[in-house]
A and B are shown apart, each in its own frame.
Chain A
Amino acid sequence: QVQLMESGPELVKPSETLSLTCSVSGDSVSSDKYYWSWIRQPPGKGLEWIGYIYDSGTTRYKSSFKSRASISVDMSKNQFSLTLTSVTAADTAVYYCARDRGYEFYIDSWGPGMLVTVSS
């Protein structure tokens, strides 16, 4: 059974870069069956899809993030990562990594989530 776990700084200063890593166990990030995703949820609000990576390097992003977000994969560590540049308080959220079953069209596994606060 796959398990995902987010890690990274819990506090980021405005204008700086948010960097999060998702460690995957029980599956391989090099698998061509899955799309490795990032989703966020501001406190008390709904879910927002950020993007995903698949085929070991192909990425897709929500257009509002395209200039700031980057998702990459490290197959040697079985991890994938999110960087978000020039953050503001509006980027304060719980960030989830998740496994999307690609051509089956649904997300079947989520990490527990990690609250990242943007504040000076």
Chain B
Amino acid sequence: DIQMTQSPSSLAASIGDRVTITCRASQGISTYLNWFQQKPPKAPKLLISVASTLQSGVPSRFSGSGSGTDFTLTINNLQPEDFAIYYCQQSYSIPRTFGQGTKVEVK
């Protein structure tokens, strides 16, 4: 199975900050990397697919980049509604695997 490792596991940030979350795959996955946002107890919501494609309706302050084994989710100008848990997920192979999550909290 491909292991997905996110860093950091949590971070504290302020409104207006730029936040960067990284995701590393245990082997190359091309750009088959998706990012989800979860606000418990709700289901995850897809933000970005195939590393950098912003989903319809997702604010442009979210962006994704990377290929191979290293990926980044960036949130520019952090807004109150962005405090949540973020997960990366690889769709390169079965089983689909998720990172452990990064909790973005209020500083």
Which residues of A line the B interface, CB within 8 A?
A: 37, 46-49, 51, 60-63, 94, 96, 100, 104-108, 110-113
Contacts and interface: CB of A to CB of B under 8 A. Distances in A.
Contacts, number: 60
Nearest to B56: A108
B50 A46 contact: no
A107 B32 contact: no
Interface of B: 1, 32, 34, 36, 41-46, 49-50, 55, 87, 89, 91-92, 94-101
Q: Is the interface of B mostly helix, strand, loop or mixed?
A: loop
Given A105-B32, A113-B43, A47 B50 contact: no
Contacts of B91: 100, 105-106
A94 B43 CA distance: 10
Contacts of B43: 96, 110-113
B61 to A, nearest CB: 20
Nearest to B87: A47
B98 A48 contact: yes
B59 to A, nearest CB: 18
28 contacts: A46-B87, A46-B98, A46-B99, A46-B100, A47-B36, A47-B44, A47-B87, A47-B89, A47-B98, A48-B98, A49-B98, A51-B95, A62-B94, A63-B1, A63-B95, A96-B43, A96-B44, A100-B96, A104-B49, A105-B91, A106-B46, A106-B50, A107-B46, A107-B89, A108-B46, A112-B43, A113-B41, A113-B42
